Amino acid sequence: MKDDEIAHTTSCIAEVKRVFAEDEEVSGRLLADLLTDLGQVLTYRQEDALDHLAVNPNLKKDIPYIIARTPNEKTNTKGASWFNLYLRVYRGIILLARNLVVHHFRIDLDEVSSSFDKYIANVRSDIPVISKTIAAYLQLFANASQTLGESAKCIRFRNSVINNSTTRNIIRSDIEARLALFVLIRNTIDKEDTLDYDSVEYLVLEGAKIDFSTDLNGSDTILLLTLGDCITHERFLTWIHQHVERKAKLPNLFRLLQVVITSREDWSNHDIICLLSWLYRYFEIVSDDCHRLLTSSDGDKDELATAHSSMMSLLDSLTHLGKFETCQKYLRSYRGIENIIQLLRTIHENTERQTLKNKDHHSQNKSSKSFPEAKSLLIELLSYLVYESFESQEKVREQHGLELVLSNCVIDKNEPYIKERAIICIRFLLEKNAENQKFVAQLEAKKTYDEEALREVGYETEIIDGKLKLKKVDNT
pLDDT at 446: 66
Contact 313, 254 (CB under 8 A): yes
Residues 6+ apart with CB under 8 A from 241: none
Computed over its alpha carbons, how large is the radius of gyration of the chain?
31
Q: Is 369 left (phi over 0), alpha (psi -120 to 50) or beta?
A: beta
Residues 6+ apart with CB under 8 A from 464: none
In contact, 413 and 375? CB cutoff 8 Å? no
The one-digit pLDDT tens for each residue of the chain (476 residues) are 578 889 999 999 999 999 998 756 788 999 999 999 999 999 988 899 899 999 999 999 999 999 999 999 988 888 999 999 999 999 999 999 999 999 999 999 999 999 999 999 999 888 889 999 999 999 999 999 999 988 999 999 999 999 999 999 999 999 999 999 999 999 999 888 889 999 999 999 999 999 998 999 999 999 999 999 999 999 999 999 888 777 778 999 999 999 999 999 999 999 999 999 999 999 999 999 999 999 998 878 899 999 999 999 999 999 999 999 999 999 999 999 999 999 999 999 999 887 766 655 544 455 578 999 999 999 999 999 999 999 999 999 999 999 999 999 888 999 999 999 999 999 999 999 999 999 988 887 665 555 666 667 666 655 555 455 566 666 65
Q: Where are the domains of the chain?
A: 1-192
The whole-angstrom separation of Cα 188 and Cα 143 is 11
CA distance linking residue 102 with residue 340, whole number of Å: 51
Alpha-carbon gap, residue 168 to 161, rounded angstroms: 7
Looking at 72-217, list the stretches that DSSP marks H as alpha helix, in order from N- to C-terminal side.
80-101, 109-122, 129-147, 151-162, 165-172, 175-189, 197-207
pTM of the model: 0.86
pLDDT score recorded for residue 451: 62
- Residues near 194 by beta carbon (within 8 Å), at least 6 away in sequence: 235
Angle between helices 129-147 and 175-189 (to 10 degrees): 20
Question: Cβ(42)–Cβ(17) under 8 Å?
Answer: no
Is 468 in a helix, a strand, or coil? strand
Q: What is the pLDDT of residue 447?
A: 58
Full DSSP string of 288-338: HHHHHHHH-TT--HHHHHHHHHHHHHHHHHHHHHTTSHHHHHHHHHTTHHH
pLDDT at 364: 47
Helices (H), 352-400: 359-364, 374-386, 390-398
pLDDT value, residue 125? 87
Q: Model confidence over 215-235: pLDDT tens digits?
A: 999 999 999 999 999 999 999
